[in-house]
Structure 1
Amino acid sequence: MSSTETPTRPPTGADRARPSRSGKPQGQWKVDGSTPLNSNEEVKAADNGLNVRERIEQVYAPGGFDSIPDDDLHGRFRWWGLYTQRKPGIDGGRTAQLEPHELEDRFFMMRVRTDGAALGPTALRTLGGISTEFARSTADVSDRENIQYHWVRIEDVPEIWERLAEVGLETTTACGDTPRGFLGSPVAGIAADEIIDPTPVISEITHRYLGDPELANLPRKFKTAITGHPSQDVVHEINDISLVGVVHPELGPGYDLWVGGALSTSPRLAERLGAFVREDQAADVWHGVVQIFRDYGFRRLRNKARLKFLLAAWGPERFREVLETEYLGYALADGPAPGPPTGRGDHVGVHRQKDGRNYVGASTTVGRVGGSMLTDLADLVESVGADAVRLTPFQSLVVLGVPAERTDELVAGLEGLGLRVKPGFLRRSTMACTGLEFCKLAIVDTKDTTERTLDELEDRLTDLEPLLEEPISLHVNGCPNSCARIQTADIGLKGQIITTEAGDQVPGFQVHLGGSLAAPGLEEPQLGRTLRGHKVAARDLSDYVERLLRSFLDSRAPGETFAAWAHRAEDEELR
């Protein structure tokens, strides 16, 4: 089938889906047929999103921004990692009042996927050069292990693609209703305690399926995470599909299969299917799950179109049955669940590799790196004889293959760049989404607000550092969509315009407390508790976080984590 054709799915397998309460078709291709049920589905059916690349290179880059029609600009461009960015000067109170064309600038955010790849000095310099030359020196590490640029002009996109391709990077399906960038273990293939190296599986999947036109029209985005490290370092509980390294008592190392996790406004943690996946089965299993989503996912309402809603309707047993009988053609072995995480998955600090060298994890500040930092990082990695850098799902990075005798030199160099190998208890686990600066959905500023809060609190809370056994995670989001994973943080903040006691409308946050994913000492992951009726003005954020942390230390039980305390504490202790 050519990439311009839309696959026709005859209505079969109706017994696999439950009818909606309204009795309306839900747009499941194998149940309802492939007739589009909304404008988004019509745009995707009219032309495969992958085809827009040729138009960008041949028509829009030469013709400039005004040559781009709406369906491509606001639809298919996403299939190549491009969104228009927010026009400067529009405050968050107007986000919901203006149309997209009124909010957007004539520049783009561009998302570069790394898929867990090790970025050597040449790749880092290329990423830094693109930032400096084409993106006004912007570059952010996202919590999806992507690099995100801003201020990109359509005229420069083909040149950027060429430079990325030279170092094995791309923007293919980095956005859109597609298989987005993969989360891979940052220490794949090097960690001394690794269960299984996921690099071959990620490579096989991306080689076989990245850019496959048959997978370019999914109901919504599809997120993947694969790790073989016992720290469970890819936030597997909140991805559409995750493969987590385990050891089967008879079959040896392989993967435990999880599906259906996602956050946003209807958060749901992924569920185990109880299936053990051998390394040689992993690519086929991934392909089977994404095809289930394509064929049976709900398409009528976009806010109900993620895989988590199909899993909720079917349950894990039925999902596994469909995977095995309709898509794999064989049964998967039953397998064990992952054990408790053995450490923090951010890998911050100095750690020994299995070859005797070290890997060194360092925190960014809210993901900001920039062109000069990336270039200087490339020089540093090369100068100490290290191998490469991987990004993490925590807006941080890990330097790989550091000679033991040069590790102190590397650490000093990283600190000099503003990359903290020994960050404070709050800075280590703080993340912020793009926010009002560039995002058309945002209501409040995030990165500047969070950075200012960190600076203030590090001055105020020096007395707390010795009292805290574990870092406190602070995740700040500019809108309800949870790109910064607010429901899984100790302190999660959702941006909104709030009304103060004086009646003023100001930027602020709804508060979520006590969320957590895989972590040492945690029995089960849990979503955060929404603190009903309590809002915090952005200008008061430092005061609130300080008050909250001091309340925790005053009233916690011996050995109690912040997450456990936040779920049992009275509302007044949390305000």
Structure 2
Amino acid sequence: MTTPARPANRHHKRPRGEGQWALGFREPLNKNEENKKNDDGLNVRQRIIDIYSKRGFDSIDPADLRGRFRWFGLYTQRKPGIDGGKTAILEPEELDDRYFMLRVRIDGGQLSLEQLRVIADISNDYARGTADITDRQNVQFHWIEIESVPDIWERLESVGLSTTEACGDTPRVIIGCPVAGIDAEETIDGRDQIRDIYDRYIGDQAFSNLPRKFKTAISGCAAHCTVHEINDIAFVGVELADGTKGFDVWVGGGLSTNPMLGKRLGAFVSPERVHEVWAGVASVFRDYGYRRLRHRARIKFLVHDWGAEKFREVLEKEYLGYALPDGPSPELPRGGRRDHVGVFPQHDGNFYVGFAPRVGRVSGDQLHLIADIAERHGSRRVAATVEQKMVILDVAPDQVKSMVAELEAADLQVNPSTFRRQTMACTGIEYCKLAIIETKASASRLIDELEARLPDFTDPLTINVNGCPNSCARIQVADIGLKGQLVVDGDGNQVEGYQIHLGGSIGVNPGFGRKVRGLKATAADLPDYIERVARNFDSQKKEGETFAEWVQRAEEADLK
């Protein structure tokens, strides 16, 4: 798509010096922008193949190591033994281990069994058995050596997978409904649009130097499982009064340390124009996005300053060259949980079976087992969800019972407790250089504790555990959001703990929840705290009242 010429300064009123290309500010204003100007991140692939994989870790240029490697999904992982108190003190080279996290894109979330087995083999051959499912449908390996990367790429690409732009200031993985195309209740199947954007634009230098990361969701799911409200751009399935189906477009959602909900542009996008609108929005971000300060460089800040009406005007007049028709808001999400855990009918008479690993942590052996269970029961594909869970698709009615039994025997719960089903955790201090506390093992222990203490608790309750303030695990929109930090225990010792956010939600009544002054808990005290609050909710809730709704009216004493 060609981009029309833009007038010099008609739309933007912020002070000079935000680094917006469209206003003529092309000189880099920070180290990250300088590195990107010096060399496009996509160019690092050939250096990895030709130089770094042959000469080893010590040959890697620091600007590639802590910058451009991200354009192909590579981050150095945290050196073991460095406590969380040193996270913000040490220099990057002091935190870096000689191993990498490698993120694999799974755009739309669905995988063939062949693809799943390739991921499983890479996990076992190169990643010490690690394979975490993220809340954006990626798989993350750990313990990857630079010498192994070219062979890993060859294996992934042989089955249509990639790590291209899995990280960096780029269009990251495009999330989609894991049961798109088969869900009996979906509004529209968004898989073609995901593939179209991927094929046209991922790896294209037109979009490989954005101000910051750019997260996309495309789905017609009736449960709104892709949490469109907190993506940089989201296309949500809608139906016009005459039965025409298409998408409602949202922009400017995101969490981290300054959370904002996305805004509807109020425009109806027909399926064949989704890729044009996506490219137009990405281009607005590229050209008008703020590049001076990294913490203000996400598109949400531009959308907040401009407003939806102005953003749409710039998009239509300067980038699309045509006006989009107005369209309806999406239907509210169907009742209950916004996930796909359990057994549900497909529109073709088969079923899909969703199950819950522990906080997304699986292994190469487990992935092989999942592939074997699926194949034995006649399925040829699976999917990852945005809740760190998995789904097996296309299960014949007479195969469901046996499949459920085999999954649950492997501790892959199809009928999990609320706590197993709705607890998520980020990577944490085990591997992440930004983390302050450990998360995955702590969250798994928390699930066990809560299941033992509250065996009859069945209400939806999301518990999201984050190892730092950056909200990779979406703490602000959880019923109970746990932001990792060091806290002081009753004996005056500094220990791992959490600042607690309560009553966040998206959907019918979206919001970032309630902060109660001084509400913190040590990791050791956390099960006691959640048990206490859950019991207060259970005894005080009104008919049909959600936890988030209760939090808004509860007395502070009942939240502590």
TM-score, L = length of structure 2: 0.98
| 2:407 paired residue number | 414
1:356 to 327, 345, 349: 349
Shift of 1:119: 1.1
Cα deviation code 1:331-351 (max 9, x no counterpart):
111000011111433111101
1:235-294 deviations in whole A, cap 9, x for unaligned? Answer: 100000000000012461000000000000000000101000000110100000000000
- The answer for the alignment partner of 1:553 in structure 2 is 538
2:22 pairs with 1:45 = no
Q: Which residue matches 2:72? A: 80
Match of 1:450 in 2: 443
Secondary structure of 2:450's partner?
Answer: helix
RMSD: 1.6
- SS of the residue corresponding to residue 394 of structure 1 reads coil
Question: What's the counterpart of residue 306 of structure 1?
Answer: 298
Partner of residue 256, structure 1: 248
* Residue 340 (structure 1) aligned with residue 332 (structure 2): yes
> Matches of 2:462 and 2:257 in 1, distance apart?
20
8 Å contact from structure 1 (residues 224, 241) kept in 2: yes
Report the AA paired with residue 516 of structure 1.
S
Superposed displacement of residue 545, structure 1: 0.7
Among 368, 372, 388, the residue aligned to 1:395: 388
Match for 2:552: what amino acid? H
Choose from 409, 426, 449 the match for 1:433.
426
Which residue of 369, 375, 378 maps to 1:376? 369
The residue aligned with 1:202 is: 194
- The alignment partner of 1:496 has SS state of strand
List alignment gaps of at least 5 residues for structure 2. Answer: none
Q: 1:17 aligns with which of 12, 20, 39?
A: 12
Distance in 2, Cα, partners of 1:201 & 1:53: 27
Matched, 1:365 2:350: no
Q: Which residue of 1 aligns with 2:283?
A: 291
Tell me the secondary structure at the aligned position of residue 390 of structure 2. Answer: strand
- Residues 494 and 510 in structure 1, CA contact (< 8 A), matched pair in contact too: yes
**Partner of 1:480: helix, strand, or coil?**
coil
Is 1:211 the counterpart of 2:203? The answer is yes
Match of 2:479 in 1: 490
**8 A Cα contact 1:11 1:29, kept in partner:** no
Partner-residue secondary structure (3-state), 1:515: strand
**In 1: Cα distance, 2:4 partner to 2:165 partner:** 22
Partner of 2:552: 567
2:522 to 527, 537, 545: 537
Q: Distance in 2 between matches of 1:36 and 1:96?
A: 25
- Gap change, CA 1:560 and 1:514, over 3 Å in 2: same
The answer to which of 527-536 and 280-289 deviates more is 527-536
SS of 1:436's equivalent? coil
Partner Cα distance (1:83, 1:41) in 2: 18
Selected match of 2:497 from 508, 521, 536 = 508
Asked if the contact 1:477–1:493 (Cα under 8 Å) also holds between the matched residues in 2, the reply is yes
Q: How many residues align?
A: 559
The DSSP-based 3-state class of the residue aligned with 2:264 is strand
Normalised by the size of structure 1, how large is the TM-score?
0.95
Output the CA distance in 2 between the equivalents of 1:220 and 1:445.
27
Aligned partners of 1:387 and 1:402 also within 8 Å: no
- The amino acid of 1:571's aligned partner reads E
Instruction: Classify the secondary structure of the residue corresponding to 2:183.
Output: coil
Matches within 5 A, 1:198-277: 198-250=190-242, 252-277=244-269
Match of residue 4 from structure 1: none
* Percent of paired sites with the same residue: 55
Specify whether residues 499 and 279 from structure 1 end up closer, same or farther in structure 2 by C-alpha distance, changes over 3 A only: same
Secondary structure at 1:375 match in 2: helix
Q: What letter is aligned with 1:131?
A: S
Cα distance in 2 for residues equivalent to 1:12 and 1:430: 49
Deviation at 1:192, TM superposition (A): 1.3
> For the structure 1 residues 10 and 304, does the alpha-carbon distance in structure 2 shift closer, same or farther, using more than 3 Å as the test?
farther
